[in-house]
Amino acid sequence: MRNRTKTIKYIVSVFLSILFIFLIYQIILLKKPLNYKSENLKANSKNTCVSEFSTDISDNIVSLSQIWASAKEYYPFWTSEKIKLWDDVYNNAVDKVLELNSYYNYYVEMEKMVATLDDGHVAILPNNKIKEEIGVLPYDFDYYDGHFYIIAKTENSKLPLYSEVIKVNNIDTIDFLKKEIVQLIPVKTNNAYLYESMKRLMYSKLGSEINITVKTLDGKIISEKAKYEIPLSSYDKVKFNNAYVELPQTSRTLYKSHTFTLAELEKGIYYLGIYTFSNNDMVLEFEKNIIPLLNSCEEIIIDVRNNNGGNGENGENILQCLLGDNIKELSGYCQVKNARKMAIATNFGELDDKLIDKDLKDDLEIGLSMLDSTYLEKITPSTSENSSSKPSIKKTIKPIVLISHKSGSAVDDFAAYAHSSGKIMLIGTNT
């Protein structure tokens, strides 16, 4: 009888083990959509995306986790409220990734996630698989003084150059951008976020369509159902007709490179376009190739509206060359982290009035403020570096600087240095 009972228990045990393994296998099958091929993404049109979403969802979650962790470590503007928001955004993004069926939608979720950092330096660059699913409109747009315009188009596209885009999908353009696009944009500066949003409107899922209504220069209202028909991977090979304004025909170009354009507009009045501050050799190029051409210059228009930023020190050195004296050092505060003090704060968790060691108590207080990202230290200018050894022009030139919301962040420093000199007029929108 005992042997029979043992046998029955053994059979039941084996059966339950098999059943458990079977249930685990079924759970894996139920989660199969995390690693599937979606037939819905197959294209019926030659211009739509033909790739299938087939990737291990764990890779996508790992990528989101890396973004989340990197921001936690390097982002300098945390507050306790913003840290909680960042954690919530991350968890929400992970939940959404489990439901996604395309690389493009995954890319959009990453955009939404990093946009909450409110930092224009943050960007998600699509990999090749994502690029295969992104299409671009046959138009390029720009934003000027509250209005949106077509500044470039392909040869066969319908809407004319210079037209104002007044509606998108039958909604006023600015309202459409705020509803559909702004949440993808990390830039929050006035004007800049609308400019970046209009640029983001240029691309979407390959093969999708959008209705654009414009007002032409002669007042006509025209609508077109525009298609995101240009694959992002081949966008740089497509020819666009541009509406960029040329320098006056009376002007004379004196020097041109990837970094500078120098032209004489009329006698004594010069134009200097600076396209970047990221070129490490640009100050040397300025000294060698620009300064010798300014002997007859009395007034100069410095255009940094389309400057993509870089190293603010390059801009400071160029201004010193032009003004012939020192630029006032900028001052302010910066956030500081100290691993030892933060470790002390993590260990104690809160201030302890019973602590006798004053140094330890001070470190604890500072560490707690560092954990909450509220600890700031004043920037002290280095007096030993105030004097510039750069050669300067041996005459007085009156500069005017053109700035824009499209300028890179190093232009902020350039504009601040220019303003601090008291000798330069700034014209344009906020940087």
For the ranges 18-22, 279-283, 287-291, 416-420, the lowest mean pLDDT is seen at 18-22
Q: Whole-angstrom Cα distance, residue 233 to residue 199?
A: 17
149, 238: one domain: yes
Mean pLDDT of 88-96: 92
421, 388: one domain: yes
pLDDT on residue 394: 52
Residue 154: C-alpha distances to residues 135, 166, 211, 250 (Å): 14, 20, 17, 30
In a domain, 44, yes or no: no
Q: Whole-angstrom Cα distance, residue 315 to residue 282?
A: 9
For the ranges 23-32, 57-66, 160-169, 217-226, the lowest mean pLDDT is seen at 23-32
In a domain, 9, yes or no: no
The H-or-E segment that residue 252 falls in is: strand 252-256
Mean pLDDT of 344-372: 75
392, 287: one domain: yes
DSSP character for 62?
A: H
Pairing of strands 241-242, 252-256: unpaired
Mean pLDDT of the chain: 79
pTM for this structure?
0.67
Core vs surface per residue 259-279: b (16+ CB within 10 A) or e: bbbbbbbeeebbbbbbbbbeb
361, 394: one domain: no
* Percentage helix, strand, coil for the chain under 3-state DSSP, each rounded to 5: 40, 20, 40
310, 397: one domain: yes
Q: Decide which of 111, 131, 151 is a domain's last residue.
A: 131
Question: Per residue in 160-204, pLDDT tens?
Answer: 999 999 999 999 999 999 999 999 999 888 888 999 999 999 999
Q: Which of 379, 359, 380, 362 is nearest to 370 (CA)?
A: 362
71, 156: one domain: no
The answer to whether the CB of 147 falls within 8 A of the CB of 202 is: no
In a domain, 214, yes or no: yes
pLDDT on residue 249: 67
Task: Count the domains in the chain.
Answer: 4
In a domain, 40, yes or no: no
* Domain carrying residue 92: 57-131
Question: Per residue in 384-404, pLDDT tens?
Answer: 344 334 555 556 788 999 998
Q: Which of 267, 321, 326 is nearest to 299 (CA)?
A: 267
Core vs surface per residue 82-92: b (16+ CB within 10 A) or e: ebeebeebbee
DSSP character for 138?
A: S
